[in-house]
Structure 1
Amino acid sequence: MPKRAFITGITGQDGSYLAELLLEKGYEVHGLVRRSSSFNRGRIDPIYLDASAGERLFLHYGDMTDGVSLVNLVHEIKPDEVYNLAAQSHVRVSFEIPEYTASADGIGTVRLLEALRAAKLDCRFYQASTSEMFGATPPPQDEHTLFYPRSPYAAAKLYAHWMTINYREAYDMYAVSGILFNHESPRRGESFVTRKITMAVAAIQAGHQDVLLLGNIDAVRDWGYAKEYVEGMWRMLQQDEPGDYVLATGVGTTVRDFCEQAFAHVGMDWRDYVIFNEAKYERPTEVDALIGDPAKAHEVLGWKAQTDIGALARLMVDADVAALSGGPFGGPAAGLA
């Protein structure tokens, strides 16, 4: 019998890459999908419709704010591995909807952990934690760095992180947290700054857009390639003992530098097109610098980021240029790579 995995947030960037990876490894994959009047499955549809996936990919309606649906799905699926990737993941938006963010990201994780505990399954659990939990703590940040969350999103994720540890220690569950630093791809949501930049590069080059509005371009982040990071998630659940791991490149890059590299890839000078509008994109509290130390992941998991920031910017620009021109990334699955 193949291993059975349950992925919440399967329609997101990480969820779609993880589904592909697990299917390649022979898993039966089940994914949680929120019901909506409009379809938002552009990332997962090509995988779902791929004949090679056969009868090994299944989508189920449910929600992280609905504990009953999670209990029912856990009992129905009986997973060997659970990857909790679902979240309201936009930091600035979390200031506008803090209660929902807490319910989906924080309490939602407890609902899922409790469903697994009550089902008494021999199951391994992965929690998607975030570098935003470090917030104002200076880099480099590793598994022992003090947390200092600076947004409702980060605070909700920190609650979920500690509850994962609590369930591991209190109930002897195989439960781990992956503290992932920023990881991007052509599948990144369009409201996130890297994708906003690469889409603007494609649109400006094609004559469809004149300028790009950005906020704090001096913020420093540790950016890697999402497709590589889901491999690290999987490796965390293959270890003999559960533990928490930082996944990062160890290299900090400013938004300014990413912007420069993305525009330069198509022969343009970013300074001719970028307009600063910090007031529009300002957060009540800012996080200045996040740079991870992935030494533990290197040593224990044998995982290391392979794609540097320049290569990442180029592959994202190429995908958005192709999507805009109706190339191989056009149509309903625009942005897939």
Structure 2
Amino acid sequence: MGKTALITGVTGQDGSYLAELLLSKGYTVHGIVRRSSTFNTERIDHIYQDPQEQNRSFVLHHADLTDGIALVSLLRDLRPDEIYNLGAQSHVRVSFDAPLYTGDVTGLSALRLLESVRASGIEARVYQASSSEMFGAAPPPQNEHTPFHPRSPYGCAKVFAYWATVNYREAYGMYAVNGILFNHESPRRGETFVTRKITRAIARIKAGLQDRLYLGNLDAVRDWGYAPEYVDAMWRMLQRDEPEDYVVATGEAATVRQFLEVAFEHAGLDWTEHVRYDPKYERPSEVDALIGDASKARDLLDWKAQVKVAELARIMVDADIRQVADQLSGATIRIDR
């Protein structure tokens, strides 16, 4: 009999790729969706619409990470083998504007989920989506032993969730792990995140729909990988005999400016003709450089990033150009790859 998994944040970039991966491995996959006036499932609609995917059991449940009692009831009903906590307010710049909301949803909700697992009495393995933003001002390269120095409310909330996960592992013997994922992107990335903002703008410029792109700090250094590869690392963490925490990264650094150059050049455009600086996109406190050392994941999980930043930029540009073309032609849109 196949395993059962529960994914919070299933409608996001990582949640959608993870659901596809688990379904391909024969899992029954349950996803948590917040109840709201709009049903934002565009990243996973193709799973519903594919009869073969339906036969593998993909079920959504209305629930909220702020409601611990509802979480306990759901866990007792589903009794999942694995839980992937990907739900969060995940935009760093937004966390400065909504710090209390970010602290609740990104930090305290991880604790609510851990406590719900304990209170329900189930024997589930728990994955907590931690972030390279926890390292903040700590000098690169960063690995599992690098001290945390967060530089945003989002980073602070993720540090809280990280240590809550470690505490429940040590206090209750729970199989709970932290995946410290560095930036990972794809054509399903939200359009307000800088990489997707860039590639989406390129597609619109090519189509004559806009002429300018406004950005903040172009000198920030990041380690960008490909999201479908990173969800595979999540799954591998929960297959190990012992629960441990892992950094997941490419180890390759690039500035926002370098990403711009590769992406615009791939589309046959000169980025200097279209990109302008706008201080409103600057963070009150900047993280200068995040570069991950994923040696532990390579050695223990047999995981290594294959797609690096240049190929990633090309994948995203091509996908956005196709999507804009489809929109202009009135075709039905599926978020690519």
TM-score calculated relative to the size of structure 1: 0.97
Q: Which residue of 1 aligns with 2:208?
A: 207
Q: Is the 8 A contact 1:46 1:333 kept in 2?
A: no
How far apart in 1 are the matches of 2:336 and 2:41? 11
Contact 2:250 2:294 in 1 (8 A): yes
2:86 paired residue number: 85
Instruction: Write the letter of the residue equivalent to 2:91.
Output: H
**Residue in 2 that maps onto 1:30:** 30
C-alpha distance after superposition, 1:250-282 (max 9, x if no partner): 0110000001111101111111110011x2111
Per mean C-alpha deviation after superposition, the further-off stretch among 64-73 and 147-156 is 64-73
Q: Is the 8 A contact 2:46 2:334 kept in 1?
A: no
How far is the alpha carbon of 1:336 from its aligned partner? 2.4
Report the 3-state secondary structure (helix = DSSP H, G, I; strand = E; otherwise coil) of the residue aligned with 1:304.
Answer: coil
Measured after TM superposition, the shift of residue 30 of structure 1 is 0.2
Cα distance, 1:25 vs structure 2: 0.1
Alpha carbons of 1:333 and 1:30: their partners in 2 closer, same or farther (altered >3 Å)?
A: farther
Q: Which amino acid aligns with 1:325?
A: A
Quick one: distance in 1 between partners of 2:23 and 2:332? 22
2:261 counterpart SS class:
helix
Aligned to 2:7: 7
1:200–1:59 Cα change, 3 Å: same
- Correspondence 1:49 to 2:52: no
After the TM superposition, which residues 313-332 of structure 1 pair with which residues of structure 2 at under 5 Å, given as runs? 313-326=313-326
Equivalent residue number for residue 188 of structure 1: 189
**Offset at 1:232?**
0.2
Task: Report the Cα distance in structure 2 between the residues aligned to 1:281 and 1:330, rounded to whole angstroms.
Answer: 32
**1:317 alignment partner AA:** V
CA contact (8 A) 2:177 2:245 kept: yes
Query: For the residues of structure 1 that align with 2:76 and 2:107, how far apart are their CA atoms?
Result: 22
Aligned residues: 336
Helix, strand or coil: the match of 1:325?
Answer: helix
Partner of 2:124: 123
Task: Give the Å deviation of 1:93.
Answer: 0.7
Structure 1 counterpart of 2:88, one-letter code: A
What CA distance in whole angstroms lies between the structure 2 residues aligned with 1:24 and 1:50? 13
Distance change (3 Å), C-alpha of 1:281 and 1:289:
same
Shift of 1:121: 1.3
The one-letter amino acid of 2:311's match is A
User: What is the match of residue 155 of structure 1?
Assistant: 156
Q: Alpha-carbon deviations, 1:78-120, whole Å to 9, x = none? A: 1000000000000111111111111111110111101111122
In the alignment, the residues of structure 2 paired with residue 326 and residue 332 of structure 1 have an alpha-carbon distance, to the nearest angstrom, of 7
The answer for the alignment partner of 1:303 in structure 2 is: 303
Aligned to 2:70: 69
Aligned-pair CA distance for 1:332 = 6.1
1:12-55 per-residue CA deviation (whole Å, 9 max, x = no partner) reads: 00000000000000000000001121121110111122111224
Q: Distance in 2 between matches of 1:78 and 1:91?
A: 33
Q: Distance in 1 between matches of 2:62 and 2:332?
A: 21
Give the whole-Å Cα distance in 1 for the aligned partners of 2:256 and 2:330: 27
1:11 aligned counterpart, secondary structure: coil
Equivalent residues in 2 for 1:202-241, closer than 5 Å = 202-241=203-242
CA distance in 2, matches of 1:191, 1:69: 31
CA distance in 2, matches of 1:153, 1:202: 30
Q: Structure 1 CA distance, aligned partners of 2:133 and 2:6?
A: 25
Structure 1: distance between partners of 2:66 and 2:332: 28
Preserved CA contact (<8 Å) 1:43 1:333? no
Residue 202 of structure 2 aligns to which amino acid in structure 1? V
Deviation track 1:113-154 (CA, whole Å, cap 9, x = no partner) reads 011111221210000000000000010000000000111100
CA distance in 2, matches of 1:144, 1:330: 51
Task: Judge conservation of contact 1:323–1:331 (CA < 8 Å) in 2.
Answer: no
Tell me if the contact between 1:222 and 1:251 (Cα under 8 Å) persists in the aligned partners: yes
Give the letter aligned to residue 192 of structure 1: F
> Do the aligned partners of residues 302 and 218 (structure 1) sit closer, same or farther apart at CA in structure 2, a change above 3 Å counting?
same
Unaligned runs of 5+ in 2: none
* TM superposition shift of 1:331: 5.6
Q: Which moved more, 1:64-73 or 1:309-318?
A: 64-73
Distance (Å, rounded) in 1 between the aligned partners of 2:175 and 2:224: 28
Write the deviation string for residues 219-270 of structure 1: whole angstroms up to 9, x where unpaired. Answer: 0000000000000000000001000000000011000000111110111111
Q: Which residue of 2 aligns with 1:283?
A: 283
Does structure 1 retain, via aligned residues, the 8 Å contact 2:186–2:227?
A: yes
Letter in structure 2 aligned against 1:290 = L
Q: Give the stretch that moved more between structures: 42-51 or 27-36.
A: 42-51
Matched, 1:335 2:335: yes
Alpha carbons of structure 1 residues 332 and 282: separation in structure 2 relative to 1, 3 Å: farther
Q: In the alignment, is the contact (CA less than 8 A) between 2:215 and 2:281 conserved in 1? A: yes
Taking a change above 3 Å as real, the CA distance of residues 147 and 60 of structure 1, as seen in their structure-2 partners, is: same
